[in-house]
Amino acid sequence: MPGAASVSAPPAATSAERRTLGTSVRAYVALTKPRVIELLLITTIPVMFLAADGLPSLNRVLLTFAFGWMSAGAANAVNCYIDRDIDAKMRRTRRRPLARAQVLPGRALAFGIALAVISTVGFALTVNVLSAAMSLFAILFYVFVYSLLLKRRTSQNIIWGGIAGCMPVLIGWSAVRGSVDWTPFILFGVVFLWTPPHTWTLAMRYKEDYAVAKVPMLPVVASEKRVLGESLAYTWATVACSLLLWPVAGMTPVYGAVAIVLGLVFLAEGHRLFRDVLRGVTGVHLRPMRFFHLSNVYLALLFTAVAVDPLLH
């Protein structure tokens, strides 16, 4: 019987080790905020098609995708380290690895720094130095300007902090061209202007969380009327900027038609929200998350049109 017990023990230990390893891997992946990265890459790859005026090099796309993922993951992992105290207080973030003590803070920080180094060196050696510099700038801006300087101090945090999320557009263009010009800066502007209403409507849903965490997002410190009024203004600016790409980049009428239709739908939802708040509708009855989800669809489809349009020339 002792012999039987000693034979059966190793498989149980191995199973436990596998569960521990799997949990650790998932925790480190979660530190990179994969869903946020997906949105960033939606804006990177289509711009490469536009920069190439057709199909970009598959090798260049894969390298940009890989190191872009690491770059964004680095910024997000360090952000998790910085925000571990407030993440534990908020419903939306309390399941993140550091909030649940699945990863030690020091290891999370080291992981983020390692990803930053690998992504920067990888971009420099396999893509080009300009893309590497822009990638590093995005990481440093997100960590030091947004996470450390702006997020907990001002309701303008997401406006200027959103610059980091616009950088993948320039990185995608420079990865193909080795330089930048007006065209990617227009798309930079689209993402920059799109970010506040996208984020503020999400923050409306979790306003109490931000208040408890003492993060002065605009919905926490301002009335719903002001939040939705400013969101509508940014929505109009986003649509106008998207149409500016048509003449500047020489896009076909297909892009123009898609940008107009998407813009009208996006604006209609923004006006619905603002109209409802003027009528006295408040709280969750405003359905701000409908605008939030629509904004994701808007950006994804607009950048899909950016990728497809060069193939139609």
Fold topology of 18-155: Tetracycline Repressor; domain 2 (1.10.357)
Q: How is residue 137 written in tokens?
A: 């700038």
19 has pLDDT over 90: no
Fold: same for 18-155 and 181-313: no
**What pLDDT, in 10s, does the model give residues 100-125?**
999 999 999 999 999 999 999 999 99
Query: Are 169 and 188 in contact, with CB atoms under 8 Å apart?
Result: yes
**How far apart are alpha carbons 43 and 307 in whole angstroms?**
10
**What pLDDT, in 10s, does the model give residues 125-162?**
999 999 999 999 999 999 999 999 999 999 999 999 99
| Superfamily holding 181-313 | UbiA prenyltransferase (1.20.120.1780)
Query: Are 206 and 89 in contact, with CB atoms under 8 Å apart?
Result: no
Percent of the chain with pLDDT over 70: 94
**What pLDDT, in 10s, does the model give residues 33-51?**
998 888 888 999 999 999 9
Instruction: Give this prediction's pTM.
Output: 0.91
Rounded average pLDDT over 6-20: 47
> Between the CA atoms of 174, 176, 181 and 183, what dihedral angle is there, to the nearest 10 degrees?
-110
Question: Residue 107, exposed/middle/buried by CB under 10 A (0-12, 13-18, 19+)?
Answer: middle
Between 16 and 67, the higher pLDDT residue: 67
Q: How is residue 141 written in tokens?
A: 């801006």
- For 182-191, b where at least 16 C-beta lie within 10 A, e where not — what string? ebbbbbbbbb
Query: Are 218 and 201 in contact, with CB atoms under 8 Å apart?
Result: no
Domain regions of the chain by residue span? 18-155, 181-313
| Chain mean pLDDT for the chain | 92
Query: Are 143 and 82 in contact, with CB atoms under 8 Å apart?
Result: yes
170 has pLDDT over 90: yes
